[in-house]
Structure 1
Amino acid sequence: MADISKAEKGLSQMSIDQPTASQNLIVVAIDVGTTYSGYAFSFRNKPSEVTVVNWENHANNGFSYKAPSVLLLNQTYQFVAFGYEAEKQYSDIITREPTDQYLFVKNFKTELVNDRGLQRHLLVKDVLHRFIPAHGLFIETIRFLRKHFLGTLRSRGLSFQEDDIKYIVTIPAMWTDVAKQIMRESAGVAGIKPRNLELAFEPEVAAVHCMHIPSENLSGRGKDLKEMSEPGRKFAVLDLGGGTADMTIEQNTLDGKIKLVHKATGGLWGGDKVNQEFSKFLRNVVGENIFNKFIRENILDFLFINGQFETKKRSIRKDTEGEIVLQLPVSLCETYVEGTGISLAETIRNSIHSRDISVMRGRFNISAEKCRSFFTGAIIGIIEHAKEMLSKPEYQDVKHILMVGGFSESPLVIDEMRSCFPDKRVIVPVDAGLSVLKGAVLYGHNTDIITSRPSPLTYGLSLYDTFDGRKHDMTKSVMVGRDRFVLGLFEKVFTINEEVKIGSKRSIGVYENYVGDSDALRRSTKEIEIFSSSDPNPRYVTDINCSRHGCLVVPPPESGWPDHVKGQVEFEFGATELMIRYVDKNSDYTVTGSVDFHLRETPLDLMQSSIRKQA
C-alpha cells in the first residue's frame, strides 16, 4: 500500500453447472486409514460392481480387504515395503541387520488427526521413537496403492491410459484446507495427475454407499432404509474409523441427492484408542523397559498379539462373560524372565491384576470385564458427542443414525449406541468397514450426488477504507500523507455454517493503477492474502477469532502488468476444497490452483495485505 491502489469492490454470487457423471472408464478409490488402508474400483459400464482387493495376511495365513497402515523405509527414507509385507520384512531384518538402518512406522495417521489436521512440516515417530516427516509417508502410501492397483489391472489383462482413470482419495471431514492441500500434493508426487484426482469426505461417501445397498445387508430394526431415504429426511452419519469418530447431519434432497446440513465434528475416539488402552495395560503389567525391549527385538510378535486383540475386540459385547484368550508370544515371556528373573505368570498371580488376567500354557487370559474397560474412553467420547449434537433444536427430527467405519462393526459400540439412543434407529451395514471405500467409488462415478454443505469457516479478504471515527477503531488506522485510513476490514465472501451449493462462486473486484511504475514493479508477483474466522460477522482480520488462511500467488502476464489492472478474486466452493483464483477482466488472464494454505511465518503486514474498499 506504499502507493495506495485504486480498487473497486463488488460482491456477486453465481453458480457453475453441476458436474456431470464421470466420463472416466474406471474409478479407483484410495483410503489411507489410521489402522488399515486399501483401494477399490469399478468400471463406468458397471459402476455398482465394486471390486475390493484382497491382501495376504502373513501372520494369520489368511486374507483381508485392507492392509495395515505400516511402512518400512531405509535410513534415507526410501520406500522398502508396505502393509503385511512391511511387517514380515522388518521382522526378518531385525534378526540379521542393525535396526538403526531401517524405520518402521505404523498407524502414522493417528498423530495427524487433531484440531489442526495435517501440517507440512509435521514429524511422526517410528516404533523406535525416531522422527520422520509425515508428508513423505502419505506420498509413499498413495504411490504404493496406486502402483498395486495398476498391477492388478495388468494381471487381469487390462490396459488403460492414465486419463481413463479417475482417482478418489478419501479424507476425514474434519481436516483443514492445509491438510487437503498436502493430501493433494502427496497424490501428485505419487504419480496422480491433478485433473484426474478428487478428494472425498469419508462420512459423505459412506452415506452414498449405504443408499445403494439392499436392506438385507443392513443391521438395524426393520433392516429397511426406506424411511431414512425419504426426500427431505435428515439423518446422522456416525463415522467410526481407526483414529477418529465424527458425526455429520445429512439430508436427502427432493431429487434423490444428499446435502450436508451440519459439518463434521468429533474427536480421537476411534478404534485405535481401544488398542492404545490395551497396549498401555500390557506395558503396566510387564513394565515399560521390558515391553520396549520386547518390541525392539520381536516386532512381529508384538504386531501378532495386537492383531489378535484387534480381532477379538470385535466380538466383545455388553453381555460377554468369561475370558478373552490370546496366544502369548514365547518371546515376551522370555524377555520378561531375562529382565526380572521370575516368570510372567508368577508375577501376575501375585499382583493386583490377578483378578483380571492370567497366564497359562502359553495363553494370555483377560476377563471380559477388563476388555470392556479398554473401550470406556472411546465410547464415552462417542456417546457424549452424539448426544450433544442430536440435542440441538434443529436436529430433533433426526430419527436415524447410520454407523459406518471399521469401529462401527464392534458389537459393544453398537449395543451402547442403541442403549443410549432408544428413540433412534441405529443402522449398521454388514461391511461397515468398507463403506468409505465402496462409497468413494460410487461417488467418483457421480460426483454431483452431494449438492451442498455448510461453509466450515467465514472466509474473506482484508480491505482498507477512509477512516470514519463513528464506525472504525482508531487503533486500526494509519496516516498516509494527509489522509487517515482504517486497515484490515474483514470483507466476507462465505459465512460460517452458511449453506453453500457445490460449485458456487463469489468474487471481489480489484482495480490497480500501474501508471508511472517501474518495469520491475510491473513484473512483480501479486500476493493476495485470504483470511478466515470462526465468527460469522468479524469486523477486522485481526480479531481474536480470525487468522491468515492462505495466500493467492498471482504472477504477472508475460508482458507485465498493464497501466490499469481490473480483475477479481474469485472464490469457488468446490466439492471438498475451497478454490481461489484471480481473473483479469480486460484480458481474461487467469491464475488458478496456486493458493498456498500453509500458515506464514512472517508477521502480518496490513499495509501490504489490504486492498481498498470502494467508497
Structure 2
Amino acid sequence: HLASPPLGPQHIPNYPPYMADKSLFIIAIDFGTSYSGYCFALESCVDQIRQVFWGMEHGFKTVKTPTCILFNEKKEFKKFGYDAVMKYNTFPASEAPKWYFFQNFKMKLYNQVSGTLKITSNMELEADNGRMLPALTVFSESLRYMKDHALNSIGEASFQTACEPEDITWVVTVPAIWDASARQFMRLAAKEILSSLHHSEGRDFSSCQQLFFLNKLTNLILWCLGGTIDITVHEIQQDKTLKELHKASGGGWGGNTVDENFKAFLREIFHGGIWDEYIKKYPTEFHQMMYNFGLQKCSSSRDDVYLHCYTNLIKVAEQKQDISLFFNHVEGTHWHDGIIMITYEKMKSFFAYSTGKIIGALKEILRKPEMATVQYILLVGGFASSIILRDEIYHTFSERYSILCPMEAQAAIVKGAVLFGYNSQIVASRISARTYGVAVCHAFDAAVHDERKKRVSKTDNYVYCTDLFKRLVGIGDLINIDEDVHYTFTPVEPDQTSMQLRFCCTEKENAKYIDEKGMKMLGSCTVPMPNPELGRNRQVRLDVKFGLTEFKATATDLTSNQSRTVMIDFLTM
C-alpha cells in the first residue's frame, strides 16, 4: 500500500549524502507513543519519499498504525498495530486476561526519566491486564515487526530485489526531550534488529525544507506532538541548513493527557464504581471506545461529538438505575438512544491541561530577546491534526506569527527522518541542553577547595584537589556540528603510566565537583602513558569533535603518541 511521492524535486536541496553514501535504501521509522509508521527512499532518489498506508483491511487508510503490540499466553509475539487492536477487541471477556496487550508503552521511558526511577535493561512493562513482560522484549519485537513490514514493502516496490543488511540505512526517531538513558535503551532494543542504525530527534526536517521557497532565512518553531510535546527553534541558513536557536524543551503534555481527561469524565458519569467495574469486566470494549474517541480527538471538525455506547456498559450501568439518569448531573453531555453526546465546549475542556502547558512553554520561549526574529510556528505530528489544539495556538499567537501545519502532519516527522538519513549535516548547529565536562585535578587551595577533596602525592608530597569539574560545553552554548575543540592535560603523579578521563554532565550552568547533586557520569576513556621519564612534564591532548547525536573524545599521549577514543551521547536533555 504505497502512496505517491508527496514531495517534488524542487522542494529537496541537492545535498551530498553524508550518512547513507553506501546504502541503496534509507528507511526511517517513527516509533511513536500512540501511532507508528515508516517511510523509505532510494538513496539515489531521496526526492521521492515513499510512505505506506495502514489498516485498509480493517476499513482504515492512515499513514500510521497504532503503537500497540499483542503477545499470547506463552509470551510469543502475535500482532502489532491495527491487527493487534482488532484481535484484542474481538476476545471474549474470559480470553483477554490470558494475553499481553500493550499500548502507550513508549511513555514509560519518558515517565521513568522524569520521575525518580532509572531506566534499566531489565525493566518490565505492565500490560493492559496487569501482566508483566520485559520492556526490551516489547520494544524489540515492535521494531522487528516494523523492520519486516518495511522490507516486505521494499520487496513489493522493487519487484522482490534482494537487499543485504549493508544496503539499508535505518533511522529511528526519538523525542528531542528524551535523555541519554532513554536513547540508549532504544539503541539496545534495536541493536539486533536493525543494522546501520541512526537516531533522529523527533524533528520535521522535510517541512522545514518546504519553507525554503518562502524565505531562505526563515525562523521557525518546530513542534513534535504525540505522547510528549517537543519544542525546538531553528533558523534556516543561506546554505539551506538549520541552526538551532534554543535548546529542545517540552514535556508529557501530548494527546494522551486528553485521553486521561476523557476517562475521568466517563468515571464521573458512571460513578459509584460502575465505570471501574465495566473496564475490568470488558477491557476490549473499553479499548474500542477509547480508540473511537481518539479519532474524534484529532478531528478537524468543531461539531459536537457522538460516541457509541456499548451494550455491556449499558447493562452494567442499568443494574443500578436507568442509564439516562447518569447524565443528569454532568454538564456538557447527553444520552441519546445508545449514543453519548459530548458538546464541543466539553470536548475542549479535555484539552485544557495540554494546551495550557504548551502555550505557557511557548510564551516563555518567545519572550526571550534572542527569539525576536521568529516568524513561523510549525505544528507537526498526529496531535497537530486536532482543530482544538490548532485553534488555541492560532488565537494566542497568530497576530505576531504565521501558524503553519502540513497537510499530513502525522507523516511529516518520518519524512524528515528520511532526509536526516540521507544527510545528517542538515542541522549545522545545535544548542547544548546541558553542561558537559571532564574530571580534573588542580593544586590544592584551602581557600577554594573542599578539605575532603584534598590528596597528597606519594611520590613528592604534591598536594592537589581531586574530582574537580572542568567545563567543556555550557548549557545553552551554540555547538557547530563537526566542530573540533582541543584541550591539554598533565599527569597528577610523575610516575603514572595512564590517564583516565571521566566525562559527565549537569543541568547547572557551572559545577565545581563531579559528585555534586544532579551530575551524571556519561563515560570514560583511559589513555596509556608508558614513558614516565619526564614526570609531570608530559601532556595528553584531548580532541573533542561535536556531532549531531554525540561527541567523540580522543585522548592522545603526546610522548608515545598512543590514543584512545570514547563516544558520548550529546543529546541529553
Q: What range is the shorter-chain TM-score in?
A: 0.7 to 0.9
* Aligned residue in 1 for 2:220: 235
- Pick which of 460-469 and 19-28 moved more: 19-28
Partner residue, 1:359: 335
Query: Secondary structure of 1:315's match?
Result: coil
In structure 1, distance between residues paired with 2:64 and 2:436: 38
- Which residue identity lines up with residue 102 of structure 1 in the other structure? W
**Aligned pair in 2 of structure 1 residues 369, 413: CA closer, same or farther (>3 Å)?**
same
Match of residue 605 from structure 1: none
Deviations 1:555-608 (A, max 9, x none): x99xxx84559755554322223444555663655444598999xxxxxxxxxx
**Percent of pairs identical after alignment?**
26
Shift of the alpha carbon at 1:212?
A: 4.0
In structure 2, the partner of 1:45 is 44
CA distance in 1, matches of 2:553, 2:317: 59
Partner residue of 2:511 out of 513, 535, 538: 538
Name the structure 2 match of 1:286.
270
- 1:143 to partner: Cα distance: 1.4
* Structure 1 position 188 matched with structure 2 position 188: no
**Corresponding position of 1:572:** 545
Show the counterpart of 2:385: 409
Partner residue in 2 for 1:492 = 471
Amino acid at match of 1:249: V
Aligned with 1:34: secondary structure? coil
Residue identity opposite 1:137 in structure 2: V
Residues 479 and 589 (structure 1), Cα distance of their counterparts in 2 relative to 1, 3 Å cut:
closer
2:283 to 294, 299, 308: 299
Aligned: 1:428 with 2:432: no
CA contact (8 A) 2:491 2:499 kept: no
Conserved? CA contact 1:181–1:597, under 8 Å: no
Match of 2:523 among 551, 559, 566: 551
Aligned to 1:12: none
Give the TM-score taking structure 2 as reference length: 0.85
- C-alpha change, 1:252 and 1:287, in structure 2 (3 Å) is same
Q: Which residue of 2 aligns with 1:267?
A: 251
Structure 1 residues 595 and 62: CA distance shift in structure 2, 3 A = closer
For the Cα contact (< 8 Å) 1:463–1:491, is it kept in 2?
yes
Looking at structure 2, the residues matched to 597 and 438 of structure 1 have their Cα atoms a distance apart, in angstroms, of 21
2:191 is paired with a residue whose SS is helix
8 Å contact kept, 2:549–2:569: no
For structure 2, the 5+ residue unaligned runs are 1-15, 533-537
Rounded to whole Å, the distance in 1 between the matches of 2:556 and 2:75 is 41
Indicate the RMSD between aligned Cα atoms, in angstroms. 3.1
2:232 corresponds, among 231, 234, 248, to 248
Correspondence for 2:366: 390
Q: What CA distance in whole angstroms lies between the structure 1 residues aligned with 2:187 and 2:445?
A: 44
Contact 1:514 1:563 in 2 (8 A): no
SS in 1 for 2:128: coil
How many Å apart are 1:372 and its aligned residue?
A: 1.1
User: Which amino acid counterpart does residue 199 of structure 2 have in structure 1?
Assistant: L
How far apart in 1 are the matches of 2:483 and 2:17? Answer: 12
Map of 1:451 onto structure 2: 428
Q: Distance in 2 between matches of 1:297 and 1:28?
A: 41
Q: For 1:362-377, what aligned pairs fall within 5 Å after superposition?
A: 362-377=338-353
Question: Counterpart of 2:156?
Answer: 155
Distance of 1:487 and 1:66 partners within structure 2: 53
Cα distance change on mapping 1:146 and 1:272 into 2, 3 Å = same
After TM superposition, give the deviation of residue 395 of structure 1 in Å: 0.8
Asked if the contact 2:180/2:569 (under 8 Å) is kept, the reply is: no
Label 1:552 to 1:25 Cα distance change in 2 as closer, same or farther (>3 A): same
How far residue 202 of structure 1 moved from its aligned partner, in angstroms, is: 1.1
**Secondary structure of 1:385 counterpart:** helix
Aligned counterparts of 1:139 and 1:155: Cα–Cα separation in 2 = 24
Distance 2:417 2:555 in 1: 31
Match of 1:116 among 113, 116, 121: 113
TM-score calculated relative to the size of structure 1: 0.80
The separation in 1 between residues aligned to 2:134 and 2:555, in whole angstroms, is 33
Match of 2:242 in 1: 258
Q: 1:247 to 1:110 in 2, by over 3 A?
A: same
Q: Is the 8 A contact 1:460 1:490 kept in 2?
A: yes
Q: Where does residue 143 of structure 1 map in the other structure?
A: 144
Whether the 8 Å CA contact 1:124–1:131 is kept in 2: the answer is yes
Relative to structure 1, is the Cα distance of residues 29 and 583 closer, same or farther in structure 2, using a 3 angstrom cutoff? farther
Q: Which amino acid in 1 is paired with 2:523?
A: C
Deviations along 1:475-517, one digit per CA (max 9) or x if unpaired, are: 4323455443212211122222111111234355566699999
Q: Per-residue CA shift, 1:130-154, capped at 9, x if unaligned?
A: 4444333222211111111112223
Q: 1:296 and 1:596, CA in 2 relative to 1: closer, same or farther beyond 3 A? A: farther
**Counterpart residue type for residue 144 of structure 1:** Y
Q: Which amino acid in structure 1 is aligned with residue 128 of structure 2?
A: V
* Secondary structure at the counterpart of residue 65 of structure 1: coil
> 1:48 & 1:386 partners in 2: Cα distance?
32
The one of the two structures with greater contact order (alpha-carbon pairs below 8 A, sep at least 6) is 1
Residue range with higher mean Cα deviation, 377-386 or 83-92:
83-92
One-letter amino acid of the structure 2 residue matched with residue 265 of structure 1: S
Match of 1:342 among 292, 308, 321: 321
CA distance in 1, matches of 2:76, 2:557: 44
SS state of the match for residue 101, structure 2? strand
Count of aligned residue pairs for this structure pair: 541
Could you tell me which amino acid in structure 2 is paired with residue 371 of structure 1?
A: M
Change (3 A) 1:309 1:595: closer
CA distance 1:536–1:85, change in 2 (3 Å): same
Q: Which of residues 175, 180, 189 in structure 2 aligns to 1:177? A: 180
1:57–1:130 Cα change, 3 Å: farther
Indicate if the aligned counterparts of 2:456 and 2:462 stay in contact, CA closer than 8 A: yes
8 Å contact from structure 1 (residues 73, 103) kept in 2: yes
Deviations 1:376-416 (A, max 9, x none): 11111111111111011111221211111111121121111
* 1:496-549 deviation per Cα after TM superposition (whole angstroms, max 9, x unaligned): 2111111234355566699999xxxx9xx98643221223332222344x5132
Deviation at 1:551, TM superposition (A): 2.3
Residue 442 (structure 1) shift:
1.8
Q: What amino acid does structure 2 have at the position aligned with 1:163?
A: E
Q: Name the SS for the 2:224 alignment partner.
A: strand
Question: What is the alpha-carbon distance in structure 1 between the residues aligned to residue 17 and residue 241 of structure 2?
Answer: 13
Of 583-592 and 357-366, more deviation after overlay is shown by 583-592
**For 1:38, what is the secondary structure of its paired residue?**
strand
